[in-house]
A and B are shown apart, each in its own frame.
Chain A
Amino acid sequence: MLTGTYVPGRSLVHRATPGLKLVLLAVFLVPISIWQTPLLAGVSAAVVLVGFAVARIPLRYLLAELKPLRWFLAVLVPYQWWALGLEAALQLLVGLVISVAAASLVTLSTRVSDLLDTVQRGLQPLRRLGVDPDKVALTVSLALRAIPVVRDLLHQTLEARRARGLERSPRALATPLVIRTVRHAERVGEALAARGYDD
């Protein structure tokens, strides 16, 4: 959902307007987050898979989108199991995977810029409250763009720490990671200024 991947196509799913897709996604997510019966889960999963088939998006894209979830689930599911029991843990697992899969169908079949334009238009009424839709859309794009960059910074920092035999030191991770991230943010700010964004 967050990899920024777009799979081009001319299917019904691709051609539906981003606004419609977002509304349908929201409607789809309500039942699966409230009642979680096996029947509903099965039907929901089937709907998502049919969506992927209609969009002609190969399932390996879906797997790539779900992959980042594994860390999150590795922590959350055992905790849920311990706190609320096996059934609740399974509900969480299934519900989350189906929700992310559904959201991925929307993001994989829609250009980020089209989604952002839609969000931007949707936010226009909030202008009177002092919200600047242009800035919100830019912030969201920058955040999406920053995810892989910060992930790379994290890998680099982990490797540097290992190379120096400091695997166990949290400071040898947190300090350089924060410094690198802040420096990256400064450079992005400068690059935006150089491209005339602030004028």
Chain B
Amino acid sequence: MPHIEFRGVSHAYGERRVLEGIDLELTQQRIGVVGANGSGKSTLARMVNGLVVPTDGTVLVDGLDTGKQGAAIRRRVGFVFPDPEAQIVMPTVAEDVEFSLRRTDLTQPQKSERVREVLERFSLGDHHDHPAHQLSSGQKQLLALASILVTEPAILVCDEPTTLLDLRHSRKVTQLLESLDQQVLLVTHHLDLLAGWERVVVIDEGRVVADGAAAEAISFYRRLMGA
């Protein structure tokens, strides 16, 4: 498994301090991150692929500094956002997936073949040439995932990928995540989707307040939220 390491990480947006003294070594294959709104989960997740560089401390992925080796980090770490509408950048389904492959050495027929395979796997095969805007929200999120996974990153970071989805599509996306060979870091408010995950990190007001197997960490979090 890849190795994600937070060393003495703190972060402030301007004057506002949002993460404080984070030290984590993440080597499990399935890692969940939970916490209240505004607790700093997205900021933490973004650091893993260098979208946010901490104001203090360092984040390392397999020994690479996310702040200094941005290009290498982004090849290794895929990132899925909550809003697939903004993540899909090409007009049609197949083109969006192919866009991810433009910097590879694959020939055009190889690219088309890869795109076809990935779309099949994500149940989007019938929408190959459809405009992306015609897909349902669930299908859009599947497309966003397909476009990231087609490059086979070693790590997949997902920030609330199921927020806009109904229960069936959430399950589908989560099952897909669970079937991956990749290391997955999933930020979510849907606690039951994390059942059985190897590790769950609970963030509150910018600090790690619990860290362990899913069952214990989630019940701690429920108590913390008074539920």
Chain A interface residues toward B at CB < 8 A: 3-6, 8, 111-113, 141-142, 144-145, 148-149, 152, 184, 187-188, 190-196, 199
User: Are B103 and A196 in contact (CB-based, < 8 A)?
Assistant: yes
B103, A112: Cβ atoms under 8 Å? no
Q: Which of B83, B88, B92, B99 has the most CB of A within 10 A?
A: B92
Indicate whether A148 sits within 8 Å of B133 (C-beta atoms), given known contacts A113-B98, A196-B71: yes
- Decide if B85 is an interface residue (CB 8 Å cutoff): yes
A112 to B49, alpha carbons, bound, how many Å?
30
Residue of B nearest to A190 (CB): B51
Segment touching A, from B7-15, B28-36, B74-82, B184-192: B74-82
B148 x A112 contact (CB < 8 A): no
A187-B129 in contact (CB<8A): no
Chain A residue nearest to B144 (CB atoms) is A191
Instruction: Choose from B71, B91, B103, B130 the contact partner of A145 (Cβ within 8 Å).
Output: B91
Given A148-B131, A191-B87, A195-B148; A141-B74 close (CB under 8 Å):
no
Interface string of B89-105 (1 = CB under 8 A from A): 11110010011100100
Query: Which residues of B are at the interface with A, using a C-beta cutoff of 8 A?
Result: 49, 51, 70-71, 74-75, 78-79, 81, 83, 85-92, 95, 98-100, 103, 129-133, 147-148
* A192 lies within 8 A of B98 (CB): no
Bound: A199/B49 CA distance, A = 13
- Whether A4 lies near B91 (C-beta < 8 A) is yes
Q: Are the CB atoms of A6 and B89 closer together than 8 Å?
A: no
Taking the closest CB of chain A, its distance from the CB of B224, in whole angstroms, is 30
Q: Is B132 within 8 A of A145, CB to CB?
A: yes
Contacts of A141 in B (CB 8 A): 89-91, 95
Please determine whether A145 and B129 come into contact, CB atoms closer than 8 angstroms: no
A-B contact pairs, 11 of them (CB 8 A): A4-B132, A5-B130, A141-B95, A145-B91, A187-B87, A191-B81, A194-B49, A194-B51, A195-B100, A195-B148, A196-B103
A188–B89 touching, CB < 8 Å: yes
Complex contact B148–A111 (CB within 8 A):
no
Most chain-B Cβ atoms within 10 A of its Cβ — which of A6, A187, A195?
Answer: A195
A-side interface mostly: helix
Neighbour of A142 across the interface among B49, B89, B131, CB < 8 A: B89
**A194-B51, A195-B100 given; 8 more Cβ-contact pairs under 8 Å:** A145-B89, A184-B85, A187-B83, A191-B86, A193-B51, A194-B78, A195-B99, A196-B103
| A188: nearest chain-B partner, CB-CB | B86
**A3 and B74 in contact (CB under 8 A), knowing A141-B90, A188-B86?**
no
Partner of A6, one of B92, B98, B148: B92
Q: Using Cβ atoms and an 8 Å threshold, which residues of chain A touch B133? A: 4, 145, 148-149, 152
| Chain B, Cβ-Cβ closest to A112 | B91
- The 8 Å CB contact of A144, one of B91, B129, B130, is B91
| Given contacts A111-B129, A145-B132, A194 and B74 within 8 Å (CB-CB) | yes
In contact, B70 and A187 (Cβ under 8 angstroms)? no
A residues near B70, Cβ cutoff 8 Å: 199
List B contacts of A145 (CB < 8 A): 88-91, 132-133
Within the assembled complex, what's the spacing in Å between the Cα atoms of A193 and B129? 25
Provide the residues of chain A in CB contact with B100, threshold 8 Å: 195
**Complex interface: chain B residues within 8 A of A188 (CB):** 86-87, 89
For B85, the closest partner residue in chain A by CB is A149
Say which residue of A111, A112, A144, A195 sits within 8 Å of B74 (CB atoms): A195
Residue of B nearest to A151 (CB): B133
Closest to A196 in B: B74
Q: Are B86 and A111 in contact (CB under 8 A)?
A: no
CB distance from B70 to the nearest CB of A (A): 6
- Residues of B contacting A187 with CB < 8 Å? 81, 83, 86-87
Q: For residue A188, give the distance in angstroms from its CB to the closest CB of chain B.
A: 5
> Contacting A113 at CB < 8 Å: which of B75, B79, B95, B103?
B95
